[in-house]
C-alpha cells in the first residue's frame, strides 16, 4: 500500500522506494501556492489512500488505463482524474497500476483555478471532468503522450498558468486573513482576524467562506490539525503535540483529530504516510 504527500518543488528526482517512481519539477513553478509531482506504480503495489483534510486542494490527473476508485458514504465511483476539497469527508482512493500527476493548490490559487467557488466542493472528492470538462480530458491525454516526467510537469504548469491568466483573483482581505491563519499555525482568534481586514465578523464569515470554502474558525482548526497530524506521524507524543500545537490538553487534541479525520490520534499515527 502506498499513501503519499507531495513535497515542495525540488530538482527533478526519481525515487523507486516501495515500488513507486516519484518525479518532482526542476526549479520553481510559475504560480505561487502550487506544488506538484508525478507518481508511477512501477511494481504494481497498488494504491490505498485514506483522504485526510489538509490546507490545500488536491488535484490528481490520471494517466493510466485504469481509473481510480473513490469510496465514500455516497458509494464507489470510478474517476480518472479528481479533486479533493480542503475537508473532503470520509473517503478512500484505491487503484492499480497508477500513473498520475498530483497537484497541491493553496486555497489562494485554488479559488482562481478551480472554476467554481471552493465552498461548492466542500465535503467531497469530485471528478475533475465535472469541473474542467473537455479541458481536463485533453490535458490528461497530452500528459499521457508526453515522453518524460519533465515534459508532463511542464505541460501541467503551463496549463495552470493559462487558466490563472483569465481567472478571478481572491480579495486582498480574504487572502490576508488566510495568510495570517497559516502564519499563526491556526492559533488565532476570529475577532483578531476581523480586525486585521477591517470587516465585521459577519462580513468576514461570509466573504471568507465563499472564497476559501471554510469559515475562518474551521480554517484555523484545519491548519492546526495539519501541523498536529504531521507531528503525530513523525512520532511525537500526544502530550508534546497538544502543547506545541496550541491545544488545551490531550482531550482537545483527540476531539479535533477525530472531528476532522474520522479517526483517533493513535489511529492517525498508524497511517502509512510518507513525504513525496
Write out pLDDT tens, residues 141-157.
999 999 899 999 999 99
The stretch 148-170 carries a mean pLDDT of 93
Write out pLDDT tens, residues 108-120.
899 889 888 777 8
Write out pLDDT tens, residues 197-208.
999 999 999 999
Given a cut of 80, whether residue 123 has pLDDT beyond it is no
Burial annotation 58-74 (CB, 10 A radius, 16+ → b, else e): bbbbbbbeebbebbbee
Given a cut of 80, whether residue 169 has pLDDT beyond it is yes
Same domain? For 210 and 96 the reply is no
Mean model confidence pLDDT for the chain: 87
pLDDT for residue 273: 43
pLDDT for residue 219: 95
pLDDT for residue 102: 96
Residue for grid cell 477525530: 258
Same domain? For 211 and 111 the reply is no
Residue 148 burial by Cβ neighbours in a 10 Å radius (0-12, 13-18, 19+): exposed
For the entire predicted model, the pTM comes to 0.87
Domain termination site, one of 130, 147, 165: 165
The answer to whether the beta carbons of residues 17 and 90 sit under 8 Å apart is no
Same domain? For 157 and 271 the reply is no
d(CA 192, CA 184): 12
Domain termination site, one of 112, 146, 165: 165
d(CA 186, CA 27): 30
Return the CATH number at 97: 2.60.120.10
Given a cut of 80, whether residue 50 has pLDDT beyond it is yes
Same domain? For 103 and 208 the reply is no
pLDDT for residue 11: 33
Number of domains in the chain: 2
Given a cut of 60, whether residue 14 has pLDDT beyond it is no
> Where are the extended beta strands (E) located within the chain?
3-5, 20-23, 34-41, 47-50, 57-62, 68-72, 75-79, 81-84, 92-95, 99-105, 125-127, 273-275
Return the CATH number at 181: 1.10.10.60
pLDDT for residue 271: 65
Given a cut of 80, whether residue 240 has pLDDT beyond it is yes
Same domain? For 105 and 89 the reply is yes
Same domain? For 206 and 260 the reply is yes
Same domain? For 59 and 126 the reply is yes
pLDDT for residue 75: 86
What's the domain range around 192? 172-275
Same domain? For 70 and 153 the reply is yes
Higher pLDDT residue, 27 or 204?
Answer: 204
Same domain? For 199 and 88 the reply is no
Domain termination site, one of 165, 199, 234: 165
Exposure of 229 in the CB half-sphere (CA atoms within 13 A): 28
Amino acid at each position: 500500500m502506498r499513501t503519499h504527500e507531495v513535497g515542495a518543488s525540488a530538482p527533478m528526482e526519481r525515487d523507486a522506494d516501495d515500488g513507486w517512481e516519484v518525479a518532482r519539477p526542476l526549479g520553481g513553478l510559475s504560480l505561487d501556492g502550487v506544488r506538484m509531482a508525478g507518481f508511477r506504480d512501477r511494481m504494481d503495489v497498488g494504491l490505498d489512500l485514506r483522504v485526510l483534510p489538509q490546507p490545500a486542494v488536491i488535484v490528481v490527473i490520471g494517466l493510466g488505463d485504469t481509473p481510480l476508485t473513490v469510496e465514500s458514504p455516497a458509494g464507489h465511483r470510478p474517476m480518472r482524474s479528481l479533486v479533493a476539497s480542503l475537508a473532503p469527508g470520509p473517503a478512500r482512493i484505491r487503484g492499480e497500476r497508477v500513473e498520475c500527476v498530483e497537484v497541491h493548490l493553496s486555497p489562494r490559487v485554488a479559488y482562481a483555478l478551480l472554476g467554481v467557488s471552493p465552498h461548492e466542493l466542500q465535503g467531497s472528492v469530485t471528478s475533475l471532468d465535472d469541473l474542467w470538462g473537455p479541458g481536463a480530458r485533453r490535458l490528461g491525454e497530452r500528459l499521457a503522450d508526453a515522453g518524460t516526467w519533465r515534459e508532463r510537469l511542464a505541460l501541467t504548469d503551463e496549463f495552470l498558468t493559462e487558466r490563472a491568466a483569465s481567472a478571478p483573483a481572491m480579495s486582498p482581505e480574504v487572502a490576508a486573513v488566510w495568510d495570517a491563519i497559516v502564519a499563526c499555525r491556526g492559533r488565532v482568534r476570529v475577532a483578531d482576524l476581523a480586525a486585521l481586514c477591517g470587516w465585521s465578523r459577519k462580513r468576514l464569515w461570509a466573504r471568507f467562506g465563499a472564497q476559501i470554502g471554510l469559515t475562518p474558525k474551521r480554517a484555523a482548526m484545519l491548519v492546526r490539525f495539519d501541523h498536529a497530524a504531521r507531528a503525530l506521524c513523525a512520532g511525537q507524543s500526544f502530550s508534546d503535540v497538544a502543547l506545541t500545537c496550541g491545544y488545551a490538553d490531550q482531550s482537545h487534541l483527540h476531539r479535533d483529530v477525530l472531528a476532522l479525520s474520522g479517526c483517533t490520534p493513535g489511529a492517525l499515527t498508524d497511517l502509512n504516510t510518507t513525504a513525496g
